[in-house]
Each structure stands twice: as structure tokens, then as C-alpha cells.
């Protein structure tokens, strides 16, 4: 059994969603595709696919094996190019992930430029605030906010994100502005599930400050909308509130108290052979993200000082 051929067949079938579609893509008889997949499952002693009359679905073992197959086949191609000295234009699908708001504000504009420069690369962008495992979900690169744990990931710092307290002018007119972090305990606050502490906030170098949530939501956009409606004070990142500070719908709270900043990094998995499409993306995106995030930091600090 040619395992690389079997891996290629499995990958085509998984990506197309059915045996017949995979066979058409490979220009291979359907009976051959079915037989080779059965041989592969017999060799592995594991069921990779659940077959139905119309389509196939991957089992848990199949999902893990397909992700590994894709990485292996990409590395084989890169190894062959390195061995033969072949240098071709980057092409193929690139899978990237980023936090929702940061990705929308900064990564999407960079990707728009990137796609114009590299017409043979197609990008799949996953925006999510949960921490996604790159290897398990077959992702080539990610924007990561916060300190990175020791891992096999390779990281390049592209910027720094500030934390900020904010509220609407109307709320502060009625309730007054807190003068010290401890004053937050006497104010109505809006929490973000999984983002802010369950019952406390903090400033740099100070102990945790207890807060009272009048409202808890599950997205930072909703928290910002609630703050604009006068519900209470929010604790978010700079990119969530800079434009609101600039247009006056929100104003900084406790701007003279330093808050912890978090690094923003562009990360990718390590490998002896870096796919050309990933190398092209990293070289293109890194300096542009640094420039965008530096300008965004300046805008935030200027808006905070103005506030």
C-alpha cells in the first residue's frame, strides 16, 4: 500500500465531503477510491469515515488523521522543492485565526492586500475569542493576545494592547466619576462572561478591586453597547473603545491609573519545512500588523489623554 497516495485520497474525500466528489477531483475511479480507503482503515485498524448514501463524515480518529495527513503532505511537497531547488509561486489554502474584534479591525485589511499580491493563495479566516489549538484544527497561523506559554509555537511580537475602564458621559454625570480604583466597588458595572473577573477588576501593581455587576453579557460588543446606554462601567481592551472615545459616546474612567498591557503576537507551528504560502503570509503580514497596531496604540493614548 502506498501510504502517501492513500493519505492524498483520504484528504480529497474529506475536503470534498463524499467519495464520488473526491474521486472526480482526483480523476480516479470511485471503486479505486473506496478500495484504497478501506485498505487504509484496515492497515490502521481504525475507522476513519462514516459512510452514508449521500456523504461521508469523519470519525474522531479520522479528523485527527486527516489533520496529520495535510501537514505531512505539505511537508513532503516542501521537502521535494528544497531538494530539487524548485522555487514556485506560493499557492494553496491558508488557514488563519484571530480574536474577533482584533481580526476584524486589523487582520482583515491586511489579508485583503495579501490576496491581491498572491492570487494563487486562498485564505480561510476563523475569528474566535477562544484559544484554538493550531495543530488539532489544522491552522497555519494565529494572532494571539497575552503572554504565550512555553510551547512549540514560534511567535513574532506585532504590538501591545492596553486595558481600559470606560463609561458613558450620561452615567458619570448621574453617578460621578470614580477617583481611585477602590471607588469602583460603589458603581454599577458591566461584566463580560469569560473575559472579566467574576467579581473583581484590577489595575497594574494593585490588588484586585471588588466590583458589582448589574449586567453580565457574553460579548465585548454587547458590553460596550450597554455602557453607551448608561448601564455602568466596563473593563475592556483598547481596541474595543478607541473609536467610542474619539466620538464621545464613551469616556475613559480612571485614566491616570496604569493598567496592565498585553502583548499581541503572530504565531505559527514550528517545522523544518515552512510552506511557501505560510512564509509569504508571515513576511507580508508581520510588518503591516506592526504598523497598524502602533498607529492604533497612538490613537488610543491620544483619545485617553483627550478624555
Q: Tell me whether residue 4 is exposed, middle or buried, using C-beta atoms within 10 angstroms of its C-beta: 0 to 12, 13 to 18, 19 or more.
A: exposed
Residue 167 and residue 231: Cα distance in Å, rounded? 9
Question: How far apart, in Å, are the Cα atoms of 256 and each of 178, 186, 253, 298?
Answer: 11, 19, 9, 16
Indicate if the pLDDT at residue 56 is higher than 50.
yes
Same domain, 114 and 149: yes
3-state percent breakdown (helix, strand, coil) of the chain, nearest 5: 45, 25, 30
Mean pLDDT calculated for residue range 173-185: 92
Mean pLDDT calculated for residue range 43-70: 85
Q: What percentage of the chain reaches a pLDDT higher than 90?
A: 45
Q: Which residue has the higher pLDDT, 84 or 262?
A: 262
Range of the structural domain that residue 132 is part of: 92-155+266-306
pLDDT recorded at residue 136: 74
Same domain, 251 and 270: no
Paired strand residues for 210 = 200
CATH number of the domain residue 214 falls in = 3.40.190.10
Q: Are strands 251-253 and 153-167 parallel, antiparallel or unpaired?
A: antiparallel
Q: Which of 77, 96, 97, 74 is nearest to 86 (CA)?
A: 77
Q: Report if pTM > 0.95.
A: no
pLDDT-based confidence at residue 84 (cuts at 50, 70, 90): low
CATH number of the domain residue 63 falls in = 1.10.10.10
Same domain, 57 and 108: no
Question: How far apart, in Å, are the Cα atoms of 261 and each of 78, 145, 205, 238, 264?
Answer: 38, 10, 12, 10, 10
pLDDT tens figures, 98-120: 999 999 999 999 999 999 999 98
Half-sphere exposure of 87 (CA within 13 A, CB side): 3
Amino acid at each position: 500500500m502506498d501510504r502517501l497516495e492513500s493519505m492524498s485520497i483520504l484528504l480529497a474525500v474529506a475536503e470534498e465531503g463524499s467519495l464520488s466528489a473526491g474521486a472526480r477531483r482526483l480523476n480516479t475511479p470511485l471503486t479505486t477510491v473506496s478500495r484504497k480507503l478501506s485498505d487504509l482503515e484496515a492497515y490502521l485498524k481504525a475507522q476513519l469515515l462514516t459512510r452514508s448514501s449521500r456523504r461521508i463524515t469523519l470519525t474522531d480518529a479520522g479528523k485527527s488523521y486527516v489533520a496529520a495527513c495535510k501537514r505531512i503532505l505539505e511537508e513532503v511537497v516542501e521537502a521535494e522543492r528544497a531538494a530539487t531547488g524548485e522555487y514556485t509561486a506560493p499557492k494553496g489554502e491558508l488557514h488563519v485565526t484571530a480574536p474577533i474584534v482584533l481580526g476584524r479591525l486589523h487582520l482583515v485589511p491586511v489579508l485583503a492586500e495579501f490576496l491581491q499580491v498572491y492570487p494563487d493563495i486562498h485564505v480561510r479566516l476563523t475569528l474566535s475569542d477562544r484559544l484554538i489549538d493550531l495543530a488539532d484544527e489544522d491552522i497555519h497561523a494565529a494572532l494571539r493576545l497575552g503572554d504565550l506559554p512555553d510551547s512549540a509555537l514560534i511567535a513574532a511580537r506585532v504590538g501591545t494592547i492596553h486595558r481600559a475602564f470606560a463609561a458613558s458621559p450620561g452615567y458619570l454625570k448621574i453617578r460621578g466619576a470614580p477617583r481611585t480604583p477602590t471607588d469602583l466597588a460603589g458603581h454599577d458595572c458591566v461584566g463580560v462572561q469569560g473575559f472579566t473577573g467574576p467579581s473583581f477588576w484590577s489595575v497594574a501593581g494593585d490588588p484586585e478591586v471588588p466590583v458589582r455587576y448589574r449586567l453580565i453579557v457574553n460579548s465585548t460588543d454587547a458590553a460596550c453597547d450597554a455602557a453607551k446606554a448608561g448601564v455602568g462601567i466596563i473593563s475592556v481592551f483598547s481596541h474595543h473603545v478607541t473609536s467610542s472615545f474619539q466620538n464621545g459616546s464613551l469616556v475613559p474612567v480612571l485614566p491616570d491609573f496604569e493598567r496592565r498591557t498585553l502583548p499581541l503576537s503572530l504565531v505559527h507551528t514550528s517545522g523544518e519545512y515552512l510552506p511557501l504560502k505560510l512564509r509569504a503570509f508571515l513576511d507580508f503580514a508581520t510588518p503591516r500588523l506592526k504598523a497598524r497596531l502602533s498607529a492604533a496604540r497612538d490613537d488610543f493614548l491620544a483619545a485617553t489623554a483627550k478624555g
